[in-house]
Amino acid sequence: MIPAQPKRPTAETKSELSALPEQIRAWAKELGFAALGITTADLDSEPGSDLDHLDNWLAAGFQGQMGWMADQRELRARPEALHPNTVTVISARMDYLPEPQEIMQANLDDPDRAYISRYALGRDYHKLIRKRLQKLADQIEAAVSALGYRVFCDSAPVLEKALARNAGLGWIGKHTLVLNREAGSWFFLGEIYLDKILPSDPPQTREHCGSCQSCIDICPTQAIVAPYKLDARRCISYLTIEHRGSIDEELRPLIGNRIFGCDDCQLVCPWNRYAQPTQEADFSPRHGLGNATLIELFAWDEATWDERTKGMALRRAGYVGWLRNLAIALGNAPSSENIQSALAARKNHPNEIVHEHVRWALSRHSE
Ligand code: SF4
């Protein structure tokens, strides 16, 4: 039996297609994206390539409990395996910096206040960006014949940083995030996989980290074990958000007051001097979470947590994770009667993970 032929990308005239990228960029601007680039769906697997880097990272076990990183390796490596007939990828950037960096730094430097990664203070970016990408895809679909596409924002196995770099949006810094000379790194990425060949943008081929290694030096847990190599098992973002269960006692004092994620490598990066605050009101901090005290947040019962974190990426760690992380931060805060009584009030928490971290925190205040 003759196997079915894969669907071929439909062909517009060359001049129609060559005009399309500029039109797409204009639509993206109207939808609130700061930049957009177009690249092919091919990812190289040669030694030293992005896929080689991914395989080495997985082989080292740096993914920790994120087993899906290995399970979905093939889908990540081959865009057409994730969405059939994908030949082109649009990568789009949306900035999220909600406030000047000095304000964030002041919050981080106050050990009685909770530090929450700035991307998680406002509305959940996944939905917002996917909706905007869908609108953009609708506009593209109306302009070309028979378009097959799928939109993504941190929701599926997509090698988003390599694709963003290939689309010319920036280079991958030593901290492993994408950064850009004009915009720094405080941005989300989203993608549209397309079955239509569009003219590609020039990839970013130069890196501009130079001899700087500030992000490596500042990392509180030394999770950037070498330039471009992050051991997630030590990374505070992973530990406070993705990791379930007990956090290694050796790492707890290094977490400080960071209760959800960590921005240190971005805060120190010289390229972020050029980062502009977001235009997106939805990314503004909710419920005063930009500088709330540890005690105040630790007092939230589950119903309050559930109600206040609705529609926020902040929910990802769950309520147990929320209390666990706050207990660690309270254990790291300067001793006070208020902190000790806040911890004592949860000393007999029925959840074993919370209970264990509260006991640890109390022991720090009786040393
Ligand atoms: S802090 Fe320095 S090394 Fe790290 S990403 Fe920024 S420029 Fe590169």
Evaluate: CB of 357 within 6 angstroms of ligand 1.
no
- pLDDT surpassing 90 at residue 3: no
pTM of the model: 0.93
Structure confidence by residue, pLDDT tens digits, 326-342: 999 999 999 999 999 99
What the block records as the tokens of 217 is 């030096």
What does the DSSP assignment read for 254-300?
HHTTEEE---HHHHS-GGGGG----S-GGGSPSTTTTS-BHHHHHT-
d(CA 364, CA 121): 29
Mean local confidence (pLDDT), 72-78: 95
Query: Hey, whose CA ends up nearest to atom 1 of ligand 1?
Result: 269
Category of 140 on φ-ψ map: left (φ > 0), alpha (ψ -120 to 50) or beta: alpha
Residue with tokens 């989300």: 188
Residues belonging to the active site: 154
Amino acid at 6: P
CA of 213 to the centre of ligand 1 (A): 6
What does the DSSP assignment read for 117-159?
-GGGSSS-HHHHHHHHHHHHHHHHHHHSSS--EEEESSSSS--
| Residue 267 phi, psi (nearest 5) | -60, -35
Q: Which atom of ligand 1 is nearest to the CA of 173?
A: 5
Evaluate: CB of 93 within 6 angstroms of ligand 1.
no
Segment (H or E) for 359: helix 352-365
Q: How confident is the model at residue 1 (pLDDT cuts 50, 70, 90)?
A: very low
CB 242 within 8 A of CB 120: no
Amino acid at 187: F
pLDDT confidence of residue 102: 94
Residue 260 buriedness (CB in 10 A; 0-12 / 13-18 / 19+): buried
Q: How confident is the model at residue 12 (pLDDT cuts 50, 70, 90)?
A: low
Structure confidence by residue, pLDDT tens digits, 247-273: 999 999 999 999 999 999 999 999 999
d(CA 276, CA 291): 20
Evaluate: CB of 175 within 6 angstroms of ligand 1.
yes
Structure confidence by residue, pLDDT tens digits, 155-194: 899 999 999 999 999 999 999 999 999 999 999 999 999 9
Locate all alpha helices (DSSP H) within 42-191, ordered by sequence.
50-59, 68-71, 73-77, 79-82, 101-109, 125-143, 160-166
Evaluate: CB of 177 within 6 angstroms of ligand 1.
no
Query: Hey, whose CA ends up nearest to atom 7 of ligand 1?
Result: 209
Residue 357 buriedness (CB in 10 A; 0-12 / 13-18 / 19+): buried
Residue 109 buriedness (CB in 10 A; 0-12 / 13-18 / 19+): exposed
Residue with tokens 């395996």: 81
d(CA 21, CA 92): 12
pLDDT confidence of residue 50: 94
CB 157 within 8 A of CB 144: no
By most ligand atoms within 8 Å of CB, the mutation choice from 175, 177, 207 for ligand 1 is 175
CB atoms < 10 A from the CB of 253, how many?
A: 12
CB 17 within 8 A of CB 197: yes
d(CA 58, CA 250): 24
Evaluate: CB of 173 within 6 angstroms of ligand 1.
yes
